[in-house]
Amino acid sequence: MRMFILGAGATGSLLARLLKRQGHHVVCGDRDPERARRFLGGSAPIAVHPVNARDIRSIVKAAHGAQFLVNACPAVFNKIVLRAALRLRADYLDTAAHLTASPFRAEQLRFDARFRAKGRAAIITAGVAPGLTNLLVAAAADQLDAVDQVQVRLYESTESDDPVSQWSAEVSFDEAVSRPRLYRGGRFVLGQRFGERERFRFPAPIGHVSVVLAAQDEVVTVPHVIPVQHMDAKIGGSDMDRLRRWYRQGKLRRSRGLVASRFPRTPTPATVDRLMHRRVLRNARFAVAVIVTGVKAGRPMCIRWDAGVPSLHTLSRHGHRRSPIAWATAQMMALFIKHFPKDLLGVHPPEEWPVELRRAVLRDARARGIRLAKRVTTLPSRGA
């Protein structure tokens, strides 16, 4: 298949290499082709065209002939890239929503009728978190007669002397200054930024960590698909602790804009190698937990999924000099493309996929090095 990837940074460049191995013809577009080639590596036979993601004509020209358009840019460009996919009559995938016009409904869903009319499919929020997390929620819901509560818990930690962006600087900043979305008592509400602190236990070697509310897209897609009463997402780890400290000091405000010293550009593989060699960057970890409680055959039940990915130190030893989040996101995007449901016309988040495709993606995620573990616990009956 002819694939066009818009945005060849830490995630998009690895995805390009993975899709090339899957047998696709891959072309990339980026605002900075020279930097994109440094991410891709000098030996990668993948063309990179200069593209302005704010200009639909620039995208369509560079992606001419593409059958599939991957949006690996910051979510602020979603609507422009979606329109470009429609002009190209291409299928589409992205990793996040922007949620500006409507804070509780992914803006990509507005394009559902147009994709159906073109006979094309668009899969949205299809990375690792959101993406893998959505699949884990759906997998747990499949085992329950009714779902009461969904909790998404993430761990992001970078052991470094200076801030190092695991995502693009724009994405990191946007998530840091956005108010968390919650689903409480069957209603969407906005939560307090860095609020509702709690202690949560991740599997070893992480252990107990303080987690706080964070803006995560799963919360605004899952309740539209799976009947649920309550849902929230919280993040813990050194990265979130640093953001919370800046927020309390008044240094983290949308009005102040993106400060490069706090949100530096994502390091290229060569820069990661250099930082690790100098011990400025020592390691990074990322982990996911999804806890779903509900009822099965009249009994309260809790299903917990844990997902772990290799640390930066482990990835580096195997030649992958990029953050665990970028690595896991690229792997999941490649699997969503591998199992892409072309018959599911329109715009859909991963939890809307047919169950057999969702299971296939999870099965292949394990094969690619993402550790998945499930635990089912029968809870005491209320009033018992």
Q: CATH number of the domain that 19 lies in?
A: 3.40.50.720
Predicted confidence (pLDDT) per residue in 175-192, tens digit: 777 889 999 999 999 999
Higher-pLDDT residue of 35 and 248 is 35
Q: Which ranges of the chain would DSSP assign to H, the alpha helix? A: 10-21, 33-40, 56-62, 78-88, 112-118, 132-142, 169-177, 218-225, 238-248, 269-277, 312-317, 324-338, 355-367
Q: 142 and 291, same structural domain?
A: yes
The verdict on 71 and 141 lying in the same domain is no
Q: Are residues 34 and 165 in the same domain?
A: no
Q: What pLDDT was estimated at residue 242? A: 83
298 or 162: whose pLDDT is higher? 298
Query: Residue 11 CA to chain centroid, in angstroms?
Result: 10
| Predicted pLDDT at 84 | 98
Residue 189 CB burial class (10 angstroms; 0-12, 13-18, ≥19)? middle
Residue 123 lies in a domain: no
pLDDT for 256: 59
Residue 332 covered by a domain: no
Domain range for 14 is 2-94
pLDDT of 141 higher than 80: yes
Alpha helices in 178-236 (DSSP H): 218-225
The number of domains in the chain is: 2
CA angle 234, 238, 239 (to 5 degrees): 70
Verdict on whether the full-model pTM lies above 0.95: no
Of 48, 66, 94, the residue that ends a domain is 94
Asked if residue 343 belongs to a domain, the reply is no
Q: What is the CATH number of the domain that holds 170?
A: 3.30.360.10
User: 200: pLDDT confidence band, cut at 50, 70 and 90?
Assistant: very high
pLDDT top residue among 270 and 139: 139
Question: Tell me, what's the pLDDT at 210?
Answer: 97
Indicate if 197 and 289 belong to the same structural domain: yes
pLDDT confidence of residue 58: 97
Confirm whether 225 is domain-assigned: yes
62 plus 156 within the same structural domain = no
